[in-house]
């Protein structure tokens, strides 16, 4: 199978799985955002389709890699992730006929890239080589006369699907009752009675006014230690 034939098989696969018309999945060249004084370039997207619901609009891209025996490796998935970021796409899918290395699978799990192994389950020797329209017409004819699917699909990594997520609300548990408090005697402690602070004179000369003893009391002259220095 040629790369072009495989790309058309993957287009047929996506349309069949998503329940959309084959014409709704395009192959496009999308210009990258340019910067002043730098040359422009374009992203060649194998498979491009848009979806949406009442809340959001989604842009999706997929890369089709026909391989004889070698597996899709980590740099291939990293490149798809970079293109996804450049285009601000919501989802990206890597499709191959051979499989994925452990490094490719690790990147896909971290970056949310879907991985699928799609293989032809029919005799593709009679397919046109390069004409995309002719290839699709032949695939449609073969599928209509085949009692089973013309492809096999192995999901290696499904990536994120918000509709399939289960949300669990975790609330903190109510605090338990406080432990019973019982005073414990302190060993070796003796209560000491502190002497009252010394009286201090306010003002000077003559019979003085002293503040001391109980709050608010006033002592005036008379007797040793009272009235004068």
Convert the pLDDT of each residue in 32-56 to its tens digit. 877 888 888 888 999 999 988 888 8
pLDDT tens for each residue of 167-194: 444 455 556 666 665 666 656 656 666 6
- Global pTM? 0.68
Q: Count Cα neighbours of 69 within 13 Å in the Cβ-side half-sphere.
A: 0
45: tokens are 């997207």
Do 121 and 114 touch, CB atoms closer than 8 A?
no
Average per-residue pLDDT for the chain: 81
- The pLDDT of residue 125 is 92
Burial class (CB in 10 A: 0-12, 13-18, 19+), 87: middle
pLDDT tens for each residue of 50-65: 988 888 888 999 999 9
Angle of the 102-111 helix axis to the 74-87 helix axis, nearest 10:
20
Q: Where are the domains of the chain?
A: 3-161
- The pLDDT of residue 35 is 81
Residue that is written with structure tokens 């005073």 in the block: 183
> Alpha-carbon distance 168 to 70, whole Å?
42
Give the CATH fold of the 3-161 domain.
Trna Endonuclease; Chain: A, domain 1 (3.40.1350)
pLDDT tens for each residue of 141-158: 999 999 999 999 999 999
Do 40 and 72 touch, CB atoms closer than 8 A?
no
């Amino acid at each position: 199978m040629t790369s072009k034939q495989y790309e058309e098989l993957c287009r047929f696969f996506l349309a069949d799985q998503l329940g959309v018309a084959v014409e709704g999945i395009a192959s496009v060249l999308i210009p990258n955002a340019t910067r002043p004084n730098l040359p422009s370039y374009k992203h060649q997207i194998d498979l491009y389709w848009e979806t949406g619901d009442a809340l959001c609009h989604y842009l999706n891209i997929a890369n089709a890699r026909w391989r004889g025996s070698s597996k899709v490796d980590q740099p291939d998935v990293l490149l798809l992730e970079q293109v996804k970021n450049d285009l601000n796409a919501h989802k990206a899918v890597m499709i191959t006929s051979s499989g994925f290395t452990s490094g490719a699978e690790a990147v896909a799990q971290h970056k949310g890239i879907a991985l699928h192994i799609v293989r032809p389950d029919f005799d593709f020797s009679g397919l046109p080589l390069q004409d995309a329209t002719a290839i699709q017409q032949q695939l449609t004819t073969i599928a209509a006369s085949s009692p089973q699917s013309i492809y096999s699909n192995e999901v290696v990594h499904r990536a994120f699907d918000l509709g399939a997520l289960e949300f669990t609300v975790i609330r903190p548990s109510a605090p338990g009752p406080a432990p019973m408090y019982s005073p414990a005697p302190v060993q070796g402690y003796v209560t000491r009675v502190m002497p009252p602070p010394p009286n201090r004179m306010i003002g000077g000369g003559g019979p003085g006014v002293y503040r001391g003893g109980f709050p608010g009391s006033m002592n005036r002259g008379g007797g040793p230690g009272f009235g004068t220095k």
